[in-house]
Amino acid sequence: MMIQKEIRLKNYRKGFHLITNEIIQQLGELPKAGLLHLHLKHTSAGLTINENADPSVRIDFESFMNKIIPENDPAFTHLSEGMDDMPAHIKSSLFGVELTIPITNSMINLGTWQGIYLCEFRNYGGERSIVATISS
């Protein structure tokens, strides 16, 4: 059996944001076992799984990504939507826009210190949408 629903995320500022609980709240009841596939419908943000306890990890992610893919790089030609747009597209491709997470005992099966991040790469990205597909 397969169920699909769209999850709407609030507007997040640029950075790495722990959204695990926001996703779980919008999923509803999960099957005993299966897979949760998440697809972010945007080209300037990403999804990843990482540290869920220490917020400094998310700050370090942001600092490092801005160091290796800075805004205002003169090599960028895609500037029609602002200086943060092309760097956001590159970062989105590096992180990716999809995750697949096992479902066990009707709960998503993440490790003790794992959480789902929205990686917001735009200064003003707006609300984001995720298609959640649950298969059992």
Q: What is the mean pLDDT of the chain?
A: 97
- Tell me which of 80 and 17 has the higher pLDDT: 17
- Pick from 60, 61, 42: nearest CA to 129: 42
Q: Between the CA atoms of 94, 95, 98 and 103, what dihedral angle is there, to the nearest 10 degrees?
A: 140
The pLDDT of residue 55 is: 96
Q: Which domains does the chain have, with CATH numbers?
A: 2-135 (2.60.120.460)
pTM (global) more than 0.85: yes
Q: What percent of the chain has pLDDT over 90?
A: 96
Nearest to 113 by CA among 52, 61, 56: 52
d(CA 132, CA 10): 16
CA nearest 26: which of 47, 52, 5? Answer: 5
At 58-117, the pLDDT tens digits run 999 999 999 999 999 999 999 889 999 999 999 999 999 999 999 999 999 999 999 999
Q: What pLDDT, on the 0 to 100 scale, is given for residue 62?
A: 97
